Amino acid sequence: MNLEELLFKTYGFASFRPGQKEVIEQIVKGEDVIALLPTGMGKSMCYQLPAHLLPGSVLIVSPLLSLMQDQVSQLKKMGEKSVVAINSFLKPQEREKIWNTLGSYRFIFISPEMLVQPFVKKQLKKIHVSLLVADEAHCISQWGFDFRPDYLRIAEILPDLGHPQILALTATATEKVTNEIKTYLEISHPYIYTHPMDRKNIVYDIKKFEKSQEKLEWLTSFVQQCEGPGIIYAGTRKKSQELAAILMEMGLQASYYHGGMEHQDRVFVQQQFQNGELDWVCSTNAFGMGVHIPNIRHVIHFQLPTSVEGYVQEVGRAGRDGRAALATLLYAEGDEGLMLSLVMDELPSRHEIQEVAANISSAEQLVAAGIVRETALRVIEYWLSQLTVAETLLQMETLQQEKIKQVDKMRRLVNLSGCIRQYIIECFDQQLAQKPENCCVNDGIDYTVFDKRTPKPKKVVLQHWENRLNALLPL
């Protein structure tokens, strides 16, 4: 049976999307693979189909619980029953059942933090894992260095698993990030598939203002005129809540989303958005991965993203149905200050590193006392296990300089006089082959493509969420 026949028999699709077959062929041949496929190109099929040809289980390391749940749900909808997600929310009896039958699952989803736990490694060692998938592999670079160092430890489990094949999947990665993926997954000669990352249907817009209040005035006017669904990205949790409250006061179906919310509330907002009960979600960069909504028309950045890579990831959530989608970046004088402070806050400070190094056996007490941040402690402990104190301090300085370079790239994007699309593509070491007719604000945008809002019945948003929103908002 050839791959097309297997694809149709297993999932009912008559043909592959661009890039899928090339990647799958290499996996079937036994090669390690790094696949760069744009958002919406069906990256998951690159491990789903080979799982029916490979012996044993496919282990998928996934960054977010919501992403795992979405992938498990999608697989079950396609008729896959042999799939499980291992996470901390499992009930004891569920967890016990999974451990007892772990080897019977074709697809096993797990987070990097769960993966490196000694007990979990012991259980995985008992089964045959033929393929390890690093989903959203750019997170190894984007998050691993900053606040989730267990991404950098994925390779530690490979000997326990008998060194399975590796498949690293991402939508965006520069040459530098690709090399980091190779290093931290210990794959020396992978087959690398790079698909042109340009999404022709996404139109890039930048609005510049003298004061931040003018951004808010523009936003409130825009959301009344233009149809959703859309995502409004804010730089802080507080700002995401403030924007959601303003939109709700205007009578719009809106909510907020950020990493500080209870898990059940995050899931609730995501489900409402996917079900069409919300038109707008105001969010930090915590929202987006695993959200498969084809008709998102707008992605608005109320504050500057901290990197071009993050910006492209977030913009890529729009227009998956192939129709025109508008990416609007709002800028006011002084916004670089917030962006730079957010970037610097992501990394441990010199003082935190020295405090942990001096109190390594009681480091948790430093967190309890408010001397060291919890996320900073995880990063510091990882690097101190790899390097000396002096080398760890130098590593943080190096990462800070790299982040400052990323901020400079965003600053250049905002002040660009040439084509925004071309600049973005070149940031990812690719060349723009052809511009679409509706390209970017610097080449001229036909805004009539994005028709004004058409009247429609007001949806009913569950009272439960409105009550929680009001309770959480500051007085």
Q: Which domain holds residue 367?
A: 351-410
pLDDT digit string, tens, across residues 432-462: 989 999 999 999 999 988 866 544 444 444 4
- The mean predicted confidence, pLDDT, of the chain is 90
For the segment 270-287, the average pLDDT, to the nearest whole number, is 92
Q: What percent of the chain has pLDDT over 90?
A: 71
pLDDT digit string, tens, across residues 128-146: 999 999 999 999 998 888 8
pLDDT digit string, tens, across residues 314-351: 999 999 899 999 999 999 988 888 788 878 888 999 99
Domain identity same for 151 and 238: no
Of 65-69, 71-75, 81-85, 180-184, the least confident: 65-69
For the segment 349-366, the average pLDDT, to the nearest whole number, is 95
Residue that wins the pLDDT comparison between 357 and 451: 357
For the segment 37-43, the average pLDDT, to the nearest whole number, is 81
CA distance 46 to 23: 6
Of 29-38, 70-79, 279-288, 459-468, the least confident: 459-468
Return the pLDDT at 248. Answer: 96
By the 8 A CB rule, do 68 and 111 touch?
yes
Domain identity same for 238 and 333: yes
CA distance 46 to 65: 20
139: domain CATH number is 3.40.50.300
Q: pLDDT-based confidence at 69, cuts 50/70/90?
A: confident
Q: pLDDT-based confidence at 468, cuts 50/70/90?
A: low
For the segment 201-209, the average pLDDT, to the nearest whole number, is 96
CA distance 68 to 290: 8
Domain identity same for 173 and 311: no
For the segment 299-324, the average pLDDT, to the nearest whole number, is 92
Count of CB atoms situated within 10 Å of the CB of 181: 24
Q: What percent of the chain has pLDDT over 70?
A: 94
Count of CB atoms situated within 10 Å of the CB of 266: 20
Return the pLDDT at 197. Answer: 87
Domain identity same for 283 and 163: no
Say which residue the tokens 């008729």 belong to: 79
∠ at Cα 455 (449, 456), nearest 5°?
Answer: 115
Return the pLDDT at 459. Answer: 47
Secondary structure class of 130 (helix, strand, coil): strand
Domain identity same for 279 and 321: yes
Count of CB atoms situated within 10 Å of the CB of 72: 18
Domain identity same for 173 and 128: yes
For the segment 66-81, the average pLDDT, to the nearest whole number, is 86
Domain identity same for 314 and 451: yes
Domain identity same for 166 and 95: yes
Return the pLDDT at 121. Answer: 94
Domain identity same for 403 and 463: no
Number of folded domains that form the chain? 3
Return the pLDDT at 470. Answer: 52
In a domain, 343, yes or no: no
User: Which residues on neighbouring strands pair with residue 232, listed in sequence order?
Assistant: 282, 300
**11: exposed, middle or buried (C-beta count within 10 Å: 0-12, 13-18, 19+)?**
middle
**In the chain, helix, strand, coil percent, each to 5?**
45, 15, 40
Domain identity same for 402 and 424: no
CA dihedral 4, 10, 11, 12 (to 10 degrees): 70
Q: pLDDT-based confidence at 70, cuts 50/70/90?
A: confident
Residue that wins the pLDDT comparison between 392 and 72: 392
Q: What is the pTM of this model?
A: 0.87
In a domain, 167, yes or no: yes
CA distance 3 to 24: 9
In a domain, 259, yes or no: yes
pLDDT digit string, tens, across residues 44-61: 999 999 999 999 999 999
